[in-house]
Amino acid sequence: MKNQASIQGKFQYRLSGWKYSALVRFLLFLLLTVVFYLALTNKFIPQTYDIQKGSHAEKDIIAPRAIENAIATEQAKEDAAQRIQPVYKIVSLKNDQLVESIFEKLQQINADAEVTLGDKVNIYKTVIPNIIEVHTDKQVKMYTGSGQYNDVMLEEMKKKIVEQQYRIPEETFYKLPRLLKEDLIAMEPVAKEIVNRLMSDQILDAQTVRAKVAELVNSSTLSKSTAREIVQELVRTAITPNKFFDQKGTDEAKGHARDNVKPIFINKNEVLVKKGDQITDEMYLRLSSLEMLKDESSNWPKIGLMMLVSMFSLFIFMFIRQSSQSIKNNNAQLLMLVLILLITLFGMKLFSLVQNLDYPYIGFLAPSAMGAMLITILLDTSIAYVATVLFAIMASVIFNTDHLQPFDFRYALLTFVTSFAAIFSIQRASQRSSILKAGMVVSLLGMVLVASLLLLEGHESSKNALVALSFTIGSGLLTAVFVIGLLPFFEVAFGILSPLKLVELSNPNHPLLRKLLTETPGTYHHSIMVGNLAEAAAEAIGANGLLCRVGAYYHDIGKTKRPVYFIENQTNIENPHDKMDPELSKSIIVAHARDGVEMLKEYQIPKPIRDIAEQHHGTTLLQFFYHKAKKIAEAEGQTKPVDEMDFRYPGPKAQSKEAAIVGIADCVEAAVRSLRSPTLEQIDTMVRRISKGRLDDGQFNECDLTIKELDQIAKTLNETLLGIFHSRIEYPNDLPAQTDALKQTKRS
């Protein structure tokens, strides 16, 4: 018997050995790395083609992402720069000072009687051009270093003034020495007034302005013809350009115009080259700029991407390694995590396929929070937080339409916020309708975030904003729908008992529970009481209280096959065990655990609950029937002692804390119920005696229940039992003795 059990145990271990294999664990993390790589590869590594200039495309070449059309953009920038008019600056020139300097020199030289007329003519030929040159240099120097005009423009100013300088006719120099002081005094204000008047306009070409001088002088107060002629010449000399071309300013304006041109994009999935088209220089250059040519492709992006996704996998590995959850050693749960990540990333990729510049916000519709919600329900909240960070990074790359930056923070932030909202909303869910409520919370918070981003950007039209918000609302609803649809698959495929599934199984309308209630009402009441006790004890030590409660509901379902053989169902009938052989009674009592497991399998009840039904008695001894058999053997004079092993449950012993807790609660409830009027001291003594008895009997050797936890379980059971039996607690001096029948109930 033992040899057969040993062989069966080895077979089961080999069958489930993959769950704890280090090689399988490595392969799963390798698969996860490959999944990350494939999810991001088209964003970082474009498809390459083996084509040459002048050849014909064998198939359509599609843009792997929304990319800038560099040639069209550059042409648009050139067109914008060409439309910029030359920039001219107006310089305020003090040319009236030039007139004043010339008249001052005229009065000085003409007043000198010692200088001959011929010498004066020669002096004027030299002095007046010198005065003009000095004045020009002074004007340029005045603005140099002021910051008002750049040096290039000041050089242009000097150049234009010199180029357009007026040449005084030769005969004018002969007339200047003959001017009297009175003539000069009358001429100076007229000349200055005309210069100021003409220089107040913008002058690009001085010659056109000088044509107006004669009319203005002739209409002045000067009466002498000589004076008018000389004033005309001096005024023409003083008229210079004051509007100058600014090369630097023009270049800057053109630069701003070029910078303001928005890049022209080729939309994602747009055909770059049609099948059969000849590859032109422009097409080849465009493909080359996209690194889509095999000859020009680089392996560095592939290496960089592999390093990035390896860091993602290492991040998950290190977190799981330091986790206290069962996924640390359970490859089945790790496989489930990989599948959830794969499904979530696949969903993102699916929505990204239809995303382009015409529909830029369709990524808001993707159910990015689905993975975080599934991980929270099926695995653990802390793992869901870690996965959220990775989902946010992935979403920022997958939905990014800007080829200049690899990440779009909007999608990262949206995924981060909605996933956290999903985790907070679903972690204490007890019904499947809670998933829909969580989806609504995801929609609400996502909508608030998207609205805030749109307001911050401030350039979207009301139509686009409405579309973006609608997509965000749809994302939450899709998340709920996909989670509700995928949850049963994971529960069945991996035997996962989610809180939602446990709550469904605890429904009194479940066929097995209805069968238990109608056919064995005593056992049903006993199971409900055990469920209350087990749940309280489990939560006190951090075990799965809901699993203990539901497991307790089903732990004695096997009694429905032979209900009258169990004392709690014997109402006003004789106990059939009184007239039965103890070995036969033992076989009937022991069979209820095996029968329960078979019934639970028939109704496809998950394995953790079946394990509780099978293990809650462990290998405990049926003391009543064992002692009864010993008495019969002694009475019949049998020399062969009764083997204790023949009156023990076949096991297995409790493999989990939950199975051990249900076993203790089952025994304690039956024992305390056998007391007529239990006191607090009686309850405490009974609970601790049963706990210690099971511990000494080695029933907890195969589960990780500690002495400290066992003590906490005893305290919690005492408090719970006190609340249950408080209405009938009395404190008599003499405690009634237990009957044999009640002892039998306690041990069964």
> Which two tokens mark 362?
């369709």
Residue corresponding to tokens 């994602």: 268
Q: What is the pLDDT of residue 370?
A: 94
Kind and range of the H or E run holding 67? strand 67-68
> Which two tokens mark 529?
């009481």
* CB atoms near residue 459 (< 10 Å): 6
The per-residue pLDDT for range 618-674, each reduced to its tens digit, is 999 888 888 888 888 788 777 678 888 888 898 899 999 999 999 999 999 888 887
Return the DSSP state at 90.
Answer: E
Q: What is the pLDDT of residue 7?
A: 44
From the number of C-beta atoms within 10 Å of its C-beta (0-12, 13-18, 19+), residue 228 rates as middle
- C-alpha span between 530 and 664 (Å, rounded): 9
Residue 269 gets the label, from left (phi > 0), alpha (psi -120 to 50) or beta, of left
**Whether the Cβ atoms of residue 738 and residue 674 lie closer than 8 Å to each other:** yes
Q: What is the pLDDT of residue 739?
A: 39
3-state helix, strand, coil in the chain (%, to 5): 70, 5, 30
Residue 8 has pLDDT above 80, yes or no: no
Q: What is the pLDDT of residue 738?
A: 40
**Whether the Cβ atoms of residue 703 and residue 543 lie closer than 8 Å to each other:** no
Q: What is the pLDDT of residue 499?
A: 79
Mean per-residue pLDDT, 451-471: 83
pLDDT band (50, 70, 90) for residue 614: very high
The per-residue pLDDT for range 207-251, each reduced to its tens digit, is 988 888 888 888 888 888 888 898 888 989 889 888 888 888 888
Provide long-range contacts, Cβ within 8 A and 24+ apart, for 454-461.
none
> Which two tokens mark 27?
């392969």
User: What percent of the chain is modeled with pLDDT above 90?
Assistant: 26
CA 487 to the chain's CA centroid: 22
> Which two tokens mark 149?
């005009």
Domain boundary assignment for the chain: 25-42+299-496, 49-69+263-296, 88-245, 502-747
DSSP 224-270: -HHHHHHHHHHHHHH----EEE-HHHHHHHHHHHHHTSPPPEEPTT-
Of 207-211, 274-278, 457-461, 725-729, highest mean pLDDT: 207-211
Specify the range with the lowest mean pLDDT, choosing from 251-265, 268-282, 493-507, 523-537.
268-282
Return the DSSP state at 652.
Answer: P
Return the DSSP state at 636.
Answer: T
φ, ψ of residue 46 in degrees (nearest 5):
-70, 155
The per-residue pLDDT for range 358-406, each reduced to its tens digit, is 667 888 999 999 999 999 988 889 999 999 999 999 999 888 876 557 7
pLDDT band (50, 70, 90) for residue 412: very high
Residue 16 has pLDDT above 60, yes or no: no
Distances (CA, A) of 468 to 346, 367, 462, 482: 22, 14, 10, 21
> Which two tokens mark 549?
């409660």
- C-alpha span between 657 and 663 (Å, rounded): 10
> Which two tokens mark 244?
């100058």
The per-residue b/e assignment along 544-553, b for 16 or more CB within 10 angstroms, e otherwise, is bbbbbbbbbb
- Higher pLDDT, residue 155 or 54: 155
CA-based angle 638:651:503, to the nearest 5?
Answer: 140
> Which two tokens mark 533?
């006790």
> Which two tokens mark 746?
């306690």
pLDDT band (50, 70, 90) for residue 339: very high
**Whether the Cβ atoms of residue 468 and residue 361 lie closer than 8 Å to each other:** yes
Could you tell me which CATH number the domain at 502-747 has? 1.10.3210
Q: What is the pLDDT of residue 323?
A: 81
- C-alpha span between 574 and 584 (Å, rounded): 17
Written in H, E and C, the secondary structure of 514-563 is: HHHHHHCHHHHHHHHHHHHHHHHHHHHCCCCHHHHHHHHHHCCHHHHHCH
- C-alpha span between 234 and 102 (Å, rounded): 8
pLDDT band (50, 70, 90) for residue 726: low
**Whether the Cβ atoms of residue 673 and residue 744 lie closer than 8 Å to each other:** no
Specify the range with the lowest mean pLDDT, choosing from 195-204, 210-219, 339-348, 451-460.
451-460
Residue of 54, 45, 37 whose CA lies nearest to 294: 45
The per-residue pLDDT for range 314-337, each reduced to its tens digit, is 999 999 888 877 788 888 889 999
CA 144 to the chain's CA centroid: 56
**Whether the Cβ atoms of residue 132 and residue 122 lie closer than 8 Å to each other:** no
Distances (CA, A) of 291 to 43, 218, 508, 691: 12, 76, 65, 72
CATH 3.40.190 applies to domain 25-42+299-496: no
Q: What is the pLDDT of residue 742?
A: 38
- C-alpha span between 234 and 190 (Å, rounded): 11
Q: What is the pLDDT of residue 338?
A: 93
Contacts of 567 (CB under 8 A, 6+ apart): 522, 575, 741, 742, 744, 745, 748
- C-alpha span between 233 and 213 (Å, rounded): 9
**Residue 190, helix vs strand vs coil:** helix
**Whether the Cβ atoms of residue 303 and residue 309 lie closer than 8 Å to each other:** no
The per-residue pLDDT for range 712-723, each reduced to its tens digit, is 999 999 888 887
- C-alpha span between 145 and 310 (Å, rounded): 58
Residue 439 has pLDDT above 80, yes or no: yes
Q: What is the pLDDT of residue 172?
A: 86
DSSP H helices, 91-205, are 95-110, 117-143, 151-163, 170-175, 181-199
**Whether the Cβ atoms of residue 444 and residue 369 lie closer than 8 Å to each other:** no
pLDDT band (50, 70, 90) for residue 746: very low
- C-alpha span between 442 and 436 (Å, rounded): 10
E strands present in 338-417: none
Distances (CA, A) of 568 to 277, 518, 524, 614, 707: 87, 14, 9, 20, 32
- C-alpha span between 600 and 486 (Å, rounded): 24
**Whether the Cβ atoms of residue 660 and residue 699 lie closer than 8 Å to each other:** yes
**Whether the Cβ atoms of residue 298 and residue 81 lie closer than 8 Å to each other:** no
Mean per-residue pLDDT, 187-192: 89
First-to-final CA distance of the chain: 24
Q: What is the pLDDT of residue 12?
A: 46
Residue 489 has pLDDT above 60, yes or no: yes
Strands 88-90 vs 243-245: parallel, antiparallel or unpaired: antiparallel
- C-alpha span between 429 and 427 (Å, rounded): 6
Residue 255 has pLDDT above 60, yes or no: yes
**Residue 484, helix vs strand vs coil:** helix
- C-alpha span between 238 and 132 (Å, rounded): 8
The pTM for the full model equals: 0.59
Residue of 623, 613, 459 whose CA lies nearest to 527: 613
Q: What is the pLDDT of residue 737?
A: 40
From the number of C-beta atoms within 10 Å of its C-beta (0-12, 13-18, 19+), residue 734 rates as exposed
Write down the mean pLDDT value for the chain.
Answer: 83
Residue 745 has pLDDT above 80, yes or no: no
Q: What is the pLDDT of residue 663?
A: 93
- Higher pLDDT, residue 223 or 459: 223
> Which two tokens mark 694?
């099971």
Of 30-34, 182-186, 464-468, highest mean pLDDT: 30-34
Residue 436 has pLDDT above 80, yes or no: yes
- C-alpha span between 472 and 369 (Å, rounded): 11
Mean per-residue pLDDT, 181-193: 88
**Does 508 sit behind a cis peptide bond, omega within 30 degrees of 0 on the bond before it?**
no
Mean per-residue pLDDT, 690-714: 90
φ, ψ of residue 387 in degrees (nearest 5):
-60, -35
Q: What is the pLDDT of residue 553?
A: 94
